[in-house]
Amino acid sequence: MDPELDSEQMSEVFEEVSNYFSLLSEPTRLKILHALCHGERTVGAIVGEIGATQANVSRQLNMLYRARILGRRKEGAQVYYRIEDQNTIALCRTVCSQMAEKVKNSRRMGQGAIHGFMGTDA
């Protein structure tokens, strides 16, 4: 952090960080970001890929767009969304990779516990 920020400025920074993480705390938004990591998509393609309703996807896309994480363009009746903020994607990839490893390890430990409980080798 910048040592020249005063207490009021630091509070403002922390508020913005809190809002940013709050935006990323919704699973549907993370699914949308994951879908868009593979390139620009239409709203309909995103709906099909993540299995959510069009109304919900549109609402989440709008929030990500207003936060400047996503960009969009209109071509005829279609609206295409793309990743604008690569820093957000890097952060999400880091955290998702770490969580995926925890899930994988947790499942391995869970299977070992089941085998141990049943009297078989893990």
Would you give per-residue pLDDT tens digits along the chain (122 residues)?
A: 667 888 899 999 899 999 999 998 999 999 999 999 889 999 999 999 999 999 999 999 999 999 999 999 999 999 999 999 999 988 988 888 888 888 888 877 766 555 554 454 44
DSSP H helices in the chain: 7-23, 27-36, 43-50, 54-66, 86-117
pLDDT, residue 122, reads: 44
Phi–psi pair at 80, nearest 5 degrees: -105, 135
pLDDT, residue 1, reads: 65
d(CA 77, CA 96): 34
pLDDT, residue 75, reads: 95
pLDDT, residue 61, reads: 97
Token pair 């609206």 is found at: 79
pLDDT, residue 115, reads: 52
pTM of the model: 0.77
